[in-house]
Amino acid sequence: MDFLQETGILTRQSGVSTGTKWQAGEGADIASHSPVDGKLIATVTGASAAEYEYLVKTAEAAFRKWREVPAPRRGEIVRQIGDALREKKQALGRLVSYEMGKSLQEGLGEVQEMIDICEFAVGLSRQLYGLTMHSERPQHRMYEQWHPLGIVGIISAFNFPVAVWSWNAALAWVCGDVCIWKPSEKTPLSAVACQRIVAEVFERNDVPEGVSCLLSGGREAGMWMSADGRVPLVSATGSSRMGQSVAATVAGRFGRSLLELGGNNAVIISKDADLDMALIGTVFGAAGTAGQRCTTTRRLIVHKDVYERFREKLVKAYGQLRIGNPLDEQYHVGPLIDKAAVETYLQAITACREQGGRFIVEGGVLEGAGFESGCYVKPCIAEVRPDFPIVQTETFAPILYIMPFSTIDEAIEIQNNVPQGLSSAIMTLNLREAEQFLSCAGSDCGIANVNIGTSGAEIGGAFGGEKETGGGRESGSDAWKAYMRRQTSTINYGKKLPLAQGIKFDI
């Protein structure tokens, strides 16, 4: 496959790098099988504890140099990374699609997100601003400034194998930080390809080794960073259970964690909704990426007056979904990441039936020609009650739960009554309903949309959620502040030293 050659993927390679330099990878082997066809793509060697120590020491040395580079110059280098990603967009997008299983258009879209965040970071590099405050003391000036933290550890998930890393890395780099990236062991090759692209740009610009480090490995590699006091910030994307472990470990050493965890996202369909528009947002939100987005639509709350009509539209639309090789653009839905995910999908369907759910679109595993990997499943829909335990749980698969409501207050209560709080949406042409949904008494999620679905977010806004989603914010807005430390400074330009609050201390 040409895209493997273009991204430099070898049959066997190291996943441990400080930039242009690659270590042997003396840890466990990580085999990357494509869920598209079940074939082994390549084997990556993970890091040993000794190699991790080498990465950290190299990163520490690099930070002392990188923080002194003017922020606009750091931004210019990140701009060049964006250009390099443009050149490799087709090849990298195909690799992401083949290794992870998402559709080609989504794979290309993920690379475009990387390009977009680089552009955002370039502008940000000239806007790392603080405030100037008036002092209560004469001939004094107060101001705040922001300094880089140091090493930022990034733990990314398989469903967005490159984009979420770039959200963190691009911002961290312009802020003056250095990064150690621990990618998902399910998608190590996409990370290797990104490291090579970045390393070429850094080498051209004489950026020291260690500004971008790659740490391939299993759970233990993430825990090394979480427990390491030399890593002041750990940004982790994954399950809520994983996030609890990371947060507890990092907090135990007074470090910072930035968490992007589970979602159990709902769309409310009002009786005043444009049902055709709502249908598009719902189907893509529920079936896109085979239900493996943290922003996937998992619950559909439909007003009783339009419930039957919308359910009929939804069933008809699901009947038109085409499932198959994600590299072929005629297909809407690709495979789940692996057979373990398929088993979780089947267990959720069984649990739903046992709890009283009724499937109006049946699920199941696809077999036969084109489905040899055993990872292709049918997107399905079940009528449920909102209090079913399975409905309270995030299942990373294309299972949509549908339920009716009578009043907007009831719908919002159902929407909020789950442990997770990432993304939410309401489909309505009723201004009062829309404003209530967006008010402090409305959605309790970090993302709340009107007349668009739950899935998909622009890099200009801060991305993240509340409750068991972790509370972190990445990407746009002022998310950059997570990667820096705030310092308040007071300058006395007078000839006396008055104390604050008028305190007298004569000696």
Question: Three-state DSSP class for 263?
Answer: coil
Contact 379, 321 (CB under 8 A): yes
Closest-CA residue to 233 (of 75, 59, 71)? 59
Residue 83 neighbours by CB under 8 Å, 6+ apart: none
Contact 323, 332 (CB under 8 A): yes
235 beta partners = 154, 258
- Core vs surface per residue 125-160: b (16+ CB within 10 A) or e: beebeeeeeeeebeebeeeeebebbbbbbbbbbbbb
Question: Three-state DSSP class for 48?
Answer: coil
Alpha carbons 204 and 140: distance in angstroms, whole number: 45
Closest-CA residue to 69 (of 205, 230, 199)? 205
Q: Which two tokens stand for residue 36?
A: 């598209």
- From the candidates 106, 185, 209, 260, give the one annotated as an active-site residue: 260
For 267, the enclosing helix (H) or strand (E) is: strand 265-269
Alpha carbons 244 and 350: distance in angstroms, whole number: 27
Alpha carbons 167 and 375: distance in angstroms, whole number: 29
Alpha carbons 153 and 74: distance in angstroms, whole number: 19
468 is catalytic: no
Print the SS3 string covering 186-206: CCHHHHHHHHHHHHHHHHHCC
Alpha carbons 27 and 20: distance in angstroms, whole number: 20
Q: Where are the beta strands (DSSP E) in 24-96?
A: 29-33, 40-45
Alpha carbons 97 and 377: distance in angstroms, whole number: 17
- Core vs surface per residue 3-27: b (16+ CB within 10 A) or e: bbebbebeeebbbbbbbeebbebeb
Print the SS3 string covering 319-382: CCCCECCCCCCCCCECCCCCHHHHHHHHHHHHHHHHCCCEEEECCCECCCCCCCCCCCECCEEE
Q: What is the DSSP letter of 51?
A: H
Q: Which residues are catalytic?
A: 260
